[in-house]
Amino acid sequence: MPSLVVVGTQWGDEGKGKVVDLLTEFADVVVRYQGGDNAGHTVIAGDDKIVLHLLPSGVLRPNCRCLLGQGMVVRPGRLLEEIDALAARGTSLDPARLTISARAHVVLPLHLAADEAEERRRGERGIGTTRRGIGPCYEDKAARRGVRFADLADPDRLRALVEDATACRAPLLERQGVAVPDPAETCRDLAAAWARLAPFVGDVSRAVHDELERGRHVLFEGAQGTLLDIDQGTYPFVTSSTTVAAGACAGAGVPPGAIDGVLGVCKAYTTRVGNGPFPTEADDETARKLREAGGEFGATTGRPRRCGWFDAAAVRRAVRVNGLASLALTKLDVLQVLGPEIRVCVGYEVDGAVEPEIPLDRLDRARPVYETVKGISEPLRDVRSPDDLPASARRYLALVEKWVGVPVSLLSVGARRAETLVFDNPFRLRRRGASGRHAAVARGPRSAGRG
């Protein structure tokens, strides 16, 4: 049962879209299992740049089946826009290729209004959300008053649910001066969306199970990143879903034993959008260089991303909580802009000791411990083979592997598909089974043809 979960190891935007698109060459099915259109996953195919928010990044491969799991929160209008935009560029989706879980929750205009109102209420303590209604939709799910895709089939039930949710939220909206969306209008729009989406709605848990039973390769595409996880992240400055690998089980409806391997996507430096702690955030000049060279502007909101040094102690934590077998290291090409020396956080000093992992619960009194190392001195974007990697890049890769404790199986040196070096196909790593996985980890920095 070949299945691989791909997760972000930092605060999102690590390049998951590119990596998943690349790996779907080896996959038959791609499943999104959490989050909603707060995600922005960029895929460059030929001369086209496509930013996907709800559809899995496998959608550009004609033979790849796309599933939206029940752990997702989906705005039907946005999903239709995405489907239509793909159709306009020649990729049309039919129910054989796309299934939306009947249990996935529907993001209502009310949730967008509530997201806005809650951010206004918090004022300076705001999370800096994407304002896509994600938090309020998950709140309604947990409060057991959410609207699921299956509910769209029954107009009376839908109306009752939307009115109830509106009644709960109206007082906060009014206090914050945010217009309360009209339930009748919401229901009209949802009915129109349902007329088109109904054929796509089904049992995703069953679908994944059946595909795995048939021996198909299944890829689970994570959104956001480990440090934005509601339980494992920098709470309260997180998103409202389980972004770590374990979320794939709950969000897609598969047992833990069905997951064969986990690949972490990791940027060669660190970025964060929105508010919250970012211990390795760089000075303005360094951040500006990274932002310009790396195009670090939000794929969903266009906001400039905060930029900083590589936090190996944070990624080490992500390796542990996700059970990563290897890393896909992205944007190594960008580091060249920083010149001959770069800094890396290799641990945190807290309460008089140095800890190897980011101490999430004591961050207020923790201080990053930096190592200064040689930077990337040559351009990397034209490198196509591990044998042609310049010495500075080899050295840096070896250090990353030492710091985080797992090998780099895939190295990305540009946004395009071709700008990628595969040291070890992550599917193959997994297919060798558990012993193969551990062997791969144990081989360490000089493995995979780089030595």
Please identify every residue annotated as catalytic: 13, 41
- What the block records as the tokens of 129 is 């959300």
**Dist. CA 144–CA 103, nearest whole Å:** 12
Q: Which of 8, 40, 133, 261 binds Mg ion (CB under 5 A)?
A: 40
Residue 265 near residue 328, CB atoms below 8 Å: yes
Interacting positions 256-315 with Mg ion (CB under 5 A): 299
Q: Strands 310-311 and 341-350, how do they pair?
A: parallel
Residue 330: strand, helix, or coil: strand
Determine the 3-state secondary structure of 408 from DSSP: strand
With vertex at residue 320, the alpha carbon angle to CA 316 and CA 326, rounded to the nearest 5 degrees, is 75
Q: Identify which of residues 102 and 337 has a Cβ nearer to ligand GDP in the complex.
A: 337
Q: Which is nearer to ligand IMO, 21 or 401 (CB)?
A: 21
Nearer to ligand GDP, 237 or 269 (CB): 269
Considering the rule CB under 6 A, would residue 13 count as an interface residue with ligand GDP?
yes
- # residues contacting Mg ion (CB under 5 A): 3
Site string for ligand IMO, 227-266 (x = CB under 6 A): -x----------xx--------------------------
Type of residue at 368: P
Largest Cα–Cα separation, the chain: 66
- Using CB under 6 A, pick the residue from 15, 35, 36, 276 that binds ligand GDP: 15
Task: Tell me the sheet residues that pair with 411.
Answer: 329, 421
Q: Select 186 or 271, whichever has its Cβ closest to ligand GDP.
A: 271
8 belongs to the binding site for ligand GDP (CB under 6 A):
yes
Q: Which is nearer to ligand GDP, 110 or 127 (CB)?
A: 127
User: Rule CB under 6 A: is residue 36 a binding residue for ligand GDP?
Assistant: no
Select from 32-40, 195-203, 246-254, 396-404 the region that touches ligand IMO (CB under 6 A). 32-40
Give the 3-state secondary structure of residue 354. strand
Instruction: Look at residue 343 and give its three-state secondary structure.
Output: strand
Shortest spacing between CB 137 and ligand IMO, in angstroms: 10
Q: No. of H helices and E strands in the chain?
A: 13, 20
- b vs e for 98-132, b when ≥16 Cβ sit within 10 Å of the residue's Cβ? bbbbbbbbbbbbbbbbbbbbbbeeeeeeebbbbbb
Residues of this chain that bind Mg ion (CB under 5 A)? 13, 40, 299
Residues of this chain that bind ligand GDP (CB under 6 A)? 8, 12-18, 40-42, 44, 294-295, 299, 330-331, 333-334, 412-415
Residues of this chain that bind ligand IMO (CB under 6 A)? 8, 11-13, 38-41, 127-130, 132, 134-135, 223-225, 228, 239-240, 273-274, 299
